[in-house]
Amino acid sequence: MTTPSLQTVTVLYFAVLREQAGCSQEVVQTSAHTVLDLYREAQTRHGLALPPERIGVAVNDTFSTLDHVIEANDTVALMPPVCGG
C-alpha cells in the first residue's frame, strides 16, 4: 500500500472564509490532488460553511476552477461569492 505524498501549499482565505478559518492564510501539508480536495480538507479543519460550488478560486494569481490539479508550492486563494452594486 502506497502512502499519498504530501505537498506544501499556501491557502489564502478571503471575506467570510477568512472569518470562519480564523486566519487570512496558512501553509499546509496536503495530499489533496485538486482545489476541491484542498477545500474539503479546509472545511474539515476550520468548519467552513460555504458549499464548494459557491466559492471562487485562483491558483498562483490566475482565476481557476475546483478541478484544477494543485502542485507543490502553489498558492490557492479561496473566495466567497461577491455581490456588488
Give the DSSP letter string of 14-80. Answer: -THHHHHHTSSEEEEEE---BHHHHHHHHHHHH---S-GGG-EEEETTEEE-TTPBP-TT-EEEEE-
Q: Is residue 1 part of a domain?
A: no
Look up the CATH number of the domain holding residue 25.
Answer: 3.10.20.30
Q: Is residue 22 part of a domain?
A: yes
Q: Is residue 2 part of a domain?
A: no
Per-residue pLDDT, averaged over 4-26, amounts to 95
Q: Is residue 21 part of a domain?
A: yes
Per-residue pLDDT, averaged over 16-21, amounts to 96
Q: Is residue 72 part of a domain?
A: yes
Question: Which DSSP helix (H) or strand (E) runs through 28?
Answer: strand 25-30
Count H helices and E strands in the chain, helices first. 2, 5
Task: Tell me the whole-structure pTM to 2 decimals.
Answer: 0.91
- Give yes or no for residue 3 having a pLDDT over 60: no
| pLDDT tens digits, 32-81 | 999 999 999 999 999 999 999 999 999 999 999 999 999 999 999 999 98
